[in-house]
Amino acid sequence: MRNLEKLLTQELKKEEIYWRQKARVQWLHKGDRNTAYFHASVKERRNINVISQIKDRDDNWCEGPNQVADTAVDFYKELFSSTAPDNQHLLPNILTRVNARMNCWLLRMVSEDEVKKVAFSIKGDSARGEDGFIGIFFQSFWPLIGADIVGAISDFFRSRRLLKSINNTLLALIPKGKNIQHMNQV
């Protein structure tokens, strides 16, 4: 029974890859030109991904990009803020997971091979970062940019300070269903 489940999972994965590749081929074939297909695809994707109105925490409708953005910022500020509870009394009850030897290993300087391995483990068509680059960019241009990336990572391990521009996070809110009304549904 387990083998059948494994086989079914493999076949479903193959089918998913097939359809994704077929869709991408169609996009590459038809979508790269200034055609009605291209414009319809872009318009449909934009309509699916836009949140034109949403309710705030007081259940009032907020409309327009600025109000929706303000509501999202308020929601996530509240979600990720802390009231700074005092949990110091819990620390003696927590088992040590990292010993001194492990800590030394974690703090050691990284090698060029380790940085390259991480860069090449990024999925090629990964989501774009704030800089607009996807994984395949770093992999394709590694001979040109690899030394700079290794240098930046090494500087971090030496100084223990990460450039703010490297640590930026880009949040893209994509509705996961239809008729989204509250931020917790995104």
* Segments forming the whole domain that contains residue 126: 90-159
Residue that has been written with the tokens 């800089």 in this structure: 131
Residue 82 lies in a domain: no
- pLDDT, one tens digit per residue, over 75-119 is 988 888 877 778 888 888 888 889 999 999 988 899 999 999 999
Number of domains composing the chain: 2
For residue 160, the model assigns a pLDDT of: 84
The torsion angles phi and psi of 61, rounded to 5 degrees, stand at -70, 135
Residue 74 lies in a domain: no
For residue 139, the model assigns a pLDDT of: 92
| pLDDT over 80 at 47, yes or no | no
pTM over 0.75: no
CA angle (9 as vertex; 7, 10 as ends), nearest 5: 65
Percent of the chain with pLDDT over 90: 18
Residue 56 lies in a domain: no
